Structure 1
Amino acid sequence: MAVPEPSHTAYKYEPLAHREIRVVRLYPLTSDNQIHCEIERASIDEHPVYEALSYTWGNDTNNIPIQVGSGSVISVTENLFVALHALSPAESPRTIWIDALCINQDDLAEVSHEVSFMKDIYTRASRVFVWLGPAADNSDEVMDYIGTLDGEPDLLEHKKWVYADTSSWDWDACRPWQPLPVSSQSVDAFLCRSWFSRVWIQQEAAVNPNTVVLCGQKEVKWHQLSSLAWSYQKPSREGFAKDTLSNDGLASSLLVLNIQSYIYEDVPALLIDILRDTTFCGAKDPRDRIYAVQALAHDEDLEKLMLVPNYNESVVTVYTKLTERFLEVQGPFILCWAGRYHQDLRDLPSWVPDWTMVNNELPSINFKASGEAQAYHTVHNEDGLRILSARGVTVSSISALTDPTAIFVTYRDQMSERSIFESFRKHIDACMNLIQTQKGSSQLEDNKRALWRVLVGDNDRNWSRLPKDYGEDLDSFPAWLASFEEEQTPSKIPGAYMELIETMDIRGAFSRRRLAIDSKRHMCLVPRTTMMGDLIVIVAGLAIPLLARSSEKGRLEIIGECYVHDCMDGEAWSELASSTQDLLFC
């Protein structure tokens, strides 16, 4: 593949007008196999005819110059250079939008402006090309198989399976298990390509129904690729796919299916849900975790929530602004995702969620810890900090904790069934030991009965509150657990016990968390980083309690959300309603 000599001057971008874009006119390869193109301007609202490219920039340390016009060059990454070769037409020029060429990347104001209507750019393209890269790791074999998948996934059917209650399914009525004609290793390598990890693909691949996937010299339609992901999720008589993949490529593909259901099936999606669902996606710029997905949401008050992209603002400023808008428009529910336990960014207020952190633990909306109390909160500057003042009550403090090493690790993090089970046994032992420290036989029995609810955050696998009789068939569990023999296998675990373990894994309620008892002898489920003396507080209008740590000047730092038994339906709030105060979170 010929590479031009960088003998020309760098291409000079002219400023764009409001909602104006540039498009690339890509010509056939020159006689010496070099890329040649021109860049033109057009108003997006005048419906220019163009295609669009979705790709990953790749390594930018060895950029390659390409010829633009008669005497200018633009340096592009090797991955884009290869993509341009693959897309170069045989005869007539091709008009295509490519971010690296059509946006002046050195002008942050222009980048911000163009990103603000990126959804329109991809939606209005006549076709979107997804470039996955050159052929490798048996990708031709995978692409050939994908090309045989003609059935377009039913988007609502997909959501029905994903969120279904599997306990009542008639598995015999499901299709028989059909192994795929390509190895799971090849499919896994295919879905591990860097394109699948980008947060921007949720917009680029979802908004245009005419999307084509290119890999090497092979081509398939997007709905065929979606069918591949769907085939790994749809249940068979033997359960879900035996070789179910766990990489982020599969998750990204399925998430695009969800996004498409929001768009084409008129299924509303909330911005908070999309932000949460895309935390595993990659983004070189953390601000893109918001900018890339906010236009996909369907909140009734979305215009009041959305930020105008501004790459001159810091990540902390952008995340804080969005949180303040959530507080103003939708109330304190956003605080469920906040806290030092979920933070990695420095200088971020503890009440602002850090969207760079993977956090798949969904705070439940099935509780009413603050009863019917109306939210009241303000945000102000103090000592150079953004302080959230929220009406609330302090319930108690942490007085006992399980050992931090006794953390239940979920199925996804383990290498074998045996290690999964041993992790679970260690965790239950730690919980029972903590319960035994409580004086008084009545309190001891109450805590034993409460344990099973606490282990799953009082929610079942489908995020519904547990029935009142939940746990009656688990009373003998600790004794059975202690007698579990080394030669036994987890497959012999009684049904009720196995359901508990699976629910803990699926819910994520106990994943990387600790059991605690507070100063009022409530059993609690708290973040792993909880310390003795940390406070349990309830904010007016918030469904679940928060764990907070005292800071200087009477302020509090949020550590994370928590489950406090017998306090989740307004009991503690009713008792303390006369002693509400302004809680100051820094």
Structure 2
Amino acid sequence: MDAPTGVLPATGAAGMLNRLNTSRNEIRVLYLYPSIDPDAPIQCSRQVVSLDDDPEYEALSYAWGNPSVVHPILLDHDPAFPVTLNAWTALRALRYRDQPRLLWIDAICIRQDDDIERAEQVKLMGTIYRKASSVRVWLGADDVGDKNAMSILQNMTTSKGANDTLGYSKAARERMGQLRRFFARPWWERLWVVQEVALGQHVVFQQGSNEMQYKELLAAYHTSDTYFRKNLSGYTYGLFSNEGGKTMEIFESVRILHQTRKLCEIDFADEDPARVREATMTWVVLANSLSSRKATIDKDRLYSLYGLLPESVLRNFPDMEPSYSISTEQAFIDVTYSIMQASQTFLMFSFLKPPAKDSSITHHPQADVLPSWVPDWRRAPINQYESNLRVVRDRLYNASKNAAFHLQRLSASTICLKGFFVTIITAWSSAGVFPSASPMLEGCYNAWRQTWADTLPRGDDLSGSYVDGLSRKTAFRRTVLWDCEPGGTESPQQSLRRLTRSEEKAMFTAHDRAVAIAFSDDHDLAGEQLSARDAQRTAYMMNCVKGRQFFVTSGGLIGLTAQAKIEAGDSIFIVAGNSHPIILRPSKRYDDTWHAVGECYLHGFMDGAGVVNIKQCEKVEKVLSAHPVVQAMKGTERNPRWNELGGQSPGDGWRWLLVE
């Protein structure tokens, strides 16, 4: 059969693949020949095209499947080119009867044994999927367990369809069973597919011969969400462990796709620094959300999202570029540093995880090679709700009072920050105090209040005043809420504002009522419902305390941290350019170097009070640095990286901080 015209052959006379011209943004596309016989051997040829010429093709998004289970196809000069079973079934299903089909399939169109080509093509992935006439998501062949799932989802795009599927009848339960099996298909577990769908202009899901538009899938998600908000007041944002929350869990992958596509819709034409900063931080949040997904190569936990970054970030930070010739650890280091520079924040510190002492990371023997300031993206994600809120709070807090961001990379994976000491942590609570309790109890303020009270110094009953002039009781209550409230009727993950006195009272009132309803033996009370606003308030409050560590400092300051594992002697610093204070731990080797622990909320210091009182902070440090606990944590050597900085100090109470 004749090859298509207007394109270049992908192979030379000897059958070897021709090298692609990166200056012309060349890719290979797969020419799938037609057949009226569905059982006929699959015949294809590869052709070279330039993305600059806007070629016509469809991009395939699929899960590779078991690489050891392969089927042969006729490809170019190879009569038995091996492809995975899932790719083979996709080609059979996508093959037309009477006309050829032009496809882009990563495993076939990219030389998998050429690290240089793979890296170059990964850089083009965003453009490849963005320019495709359609992105075809292959979910696999039909299966009796979920053969009607697509029609169920299409029916759920209407309120009536949602009522039919999300009710309590036997038929409704059977439909939900099909949906659970549908969303358990391997495609939903893969990492690369998120970028592929997010960038596609026209996305079609296909299972066997059944098809569904992405917009139909999204409509089913939104209709289901609306159904539970209307019919189960306690459902809002996963408030209770009820049927609504359990059902919406199966739509989590759809929510992530929606979030990612919204990121792609941001207009970076003017390259506004604030927009680029927020988009880059959102990219980090997304990487965290997806860190539990499957990836054949660990570097791809970041590289698979490369095409979602703003163009200015890709252009100005070459260390972000994918490279399959470096170690996974080096890739994590390079990307982390580039993201911190691009976002002009130390948001990455929010995703640091304490050293693993259990089985969660024993299969990564090189994990200890990572510097303390680099998140290990092979680990399970931290609280996704909290990570979304961190991006929103970046606009509300100003701990460093507009001080210019400073970050310098030294040798041996050491970085230099500009900051000043505030205080030392002396007491803290344990995170996850209620591992076997219900989600409602785990997020119950009264339960946490009792636990956190044990952290306070003896005799501290929260009477008296706090440093900001408020009562210590009020300061404690505001700390619980991170001094914020959910704004309006939007999701708290999208809209926050600083806490007002009236809203503080309303939030605790709503929380107490929610707890009373949830645990009441009174049938009349148990049957009551929260208003949508009160459910939102309670959900936000529960997520503020869930899994957090409450801490007290040597001077009686109080705060929260989202994911860090605190130790005695950990110090809190304000660092230039960051909206949140950070927690640093003295190096056990050097007496002038630190290890990153995480970010934190320190009540009274989120709006620049530390900068205003920087001279007082210097005096406090002179006293506390001699604390026996701190001295016991420090090493005795001088870090040789200081020689790379020279002798110049930033002055005005600020100093250089070496972190490794």
Give 1:273 deviation, angstroms: 0.3
Of 576, 596, 599 in structure 2, the residue corresponding to residue 561 of structure 1 is 599
Residue of structure 1 equivalent to 2:544: 509
Change in CA separation of 1:468 and 1:336 when aligned onto 2, cut-off 3 Å: farther
Distance (Å, rounded) in 2 between the aligned partners of 1:226 and 1:302: 30
Residue of structure 2 equivalent to 1:180: 165
Of 445, 449, 463 in structure 2, the residue corresponding to residue 428 of structure 1 is 449
Distance (Å, rounded) in 2 between the aligned partners of 1:59 and 1:415: 39
Of 16, 21, 24 in structure 2, the residue corresponding to residue 17 of structure 1 is 21
Aligned partners of 2:426 and 2:568 also within 8 Å: yes
Residue of structure 1 equivalent to 2:381: 358
Greater shift in the superposed pair: 256-265 or 122-131: 256-265
Of 346, 356, 370 in structure 1, the residue corresponding to residue 368 of structure 2 is 346
Residue of structure 1 equivalent to 2:657: 583
Residue of structure 2 equivalent to 1:47: 54
Aligned pairs for 1:276-425 within 5 A: 276-281=285-290, 282=293, 283-298=295-310, 303-305=315-317, 307-341=320-354, 345-356=367-378, 357-359=380-382, 360=384, 361-362=386-387, 363=390, 364-365=393-394, 366-381=396-411, 385-404=412-431, 406=433, 416=438, 419-420=441-442, 425=446
- 1:480-520 C-alpha deviation (Å, 9 max, x unpaired): 999x9884688779999976642233xx4333222111001
Give 1:186 deviation, angstroms: 1.9
Aligned length: 543
Give 1:102 deviation, angstroms: 0.8
Aligned partners of 1:108 and 1:311 also within 8 Å: yes
- 1:36-75 C-alpha deviation (Å, 9 max, x unpaired): 2222222222333322211011122322332224543222
Distance (Å, rounded) in 1 between the aligned partners of 2:571 and 2:340: 22
Q: Does 1:549 align with 2:562?
A: no
Aligned pairs for 1:232-251 within 5 A: 232-234=224-226, 237-238=230-231, 239=233, 243-244=244-245, 250-251=251-252
Distance (Å, rounded) in 2 between the aligned partners of 1:323 and 1:113: 20
Change in CA separation of 1:179 and 1:504 when aligned onto 2, cut-off 3 Å: farther
Unpaired runs of at least 5, structure 2 = 1-13, 167-171, 237-242, 269-274, 362-366, 487-494, 616-651
Residue of structure 1 equivalent to 2:254: 253
Residue of structure 1 equivalent to 2:618: none
Distance (Å, rounded) in 2 between the aligned partners of 1:11 and 1:97: 20
Residue of structure 2 equivalent to 1:163: none
Distance (Å, rounded) in 1 between the aligned partners of 2:458 and 2:75: 75
Give 1:439 deviation, angstroms: 4.3
The RMSD of aligned alpha carbons is: 3.7
- 1:130-152 C-alpha deviation (Å, 9 max, x unpaired): 1001222543312123445789x
Aligned partners of 2:550 and 2:559 also within 8 Å: yes
Aligned pairs for 1:470-489 within 5 A: 471-472=504-505, 487=521
AA paired with 1:556?
A: W
TM-score by length of 1: 0.81
Distance (Å, rounded) in 1 between the aligned partners of 2:498 and 2:155: 43
Change in CA separation of 1:32 and 1:216 when aligned onto 2, cut-off 3 Å: closer
AA paired with 1:280?
A: S
Give 1:262 deviation, angstroms: 4.5
Higher helix share: 2
Of 205, 209, 221 in structure 1, the residue corresponding to residue 201 of structure 2 is 209
Change in CA separation of 1:304 and 1:62 when aligned onto 2, cut-off 3 Å: same
TM-score by length of 2: 0.73
- 1:528-558 C-alpha deviation (Å, 9 max, x unpaired): 5111221111111211111111112121111
Greater shift in the superposed pair: 305-314 or 365-374: 305-314
**2:577 match: secondary structure:** coil
Distance (Å, rounded) in 2 between the aligned partners of 1:541 and 1:32: 63
Greater shift in the superposed pair: 92-101 or 272-281: 272-281
AA paired with 1:504?
A: M
- 1:78-118 C-alpha deviation (Å, 9 max, x unpaired): 21121122112223222211111111101111111111111
Q: Does 1:270 align with 2:297?
A: no
Distance (Å, rounded) in 2 between the aligned partners of 1:260 and 1:497: 30
Greater shift in the superposed pair: 292-301 or 192-201: 292-301
Change in CA separation of 1:449 and 1:428 when aligned onto 2, cut-off 3 Å: same
Of 56, 69, 80 in structure 1, the residue corresponding to residue 87 of structure 2 is 80
Distance (Å, rounded) in 1 between the aligned partners of 2:249 and 2:125: 24
Distance (Å, rounded) in 1 between the aligned partners of 2:183 and 2:304: 21
Greater shift in the superposed pair: 212-221 or 396-405: 396-405
Greater shift in the superposed pair: 512-521 or 206-215: 206-215
Distance (Å, rounded) in 1 between the aligned partners of 2:266 and 2:342: 26
Distance (Å, rounded) in 2 between the aligned partners of 1:243 and 1:137: 26
**2:368 match: secondary structure:** coil
**1:185 match: secondary structure:** helix
**2:613 match: secondary structure:** helix
Distance (Å, rounded) in 2 between the aligned partners of 1:175 and 1:237: 13
Identity of aligned residues (%): 24
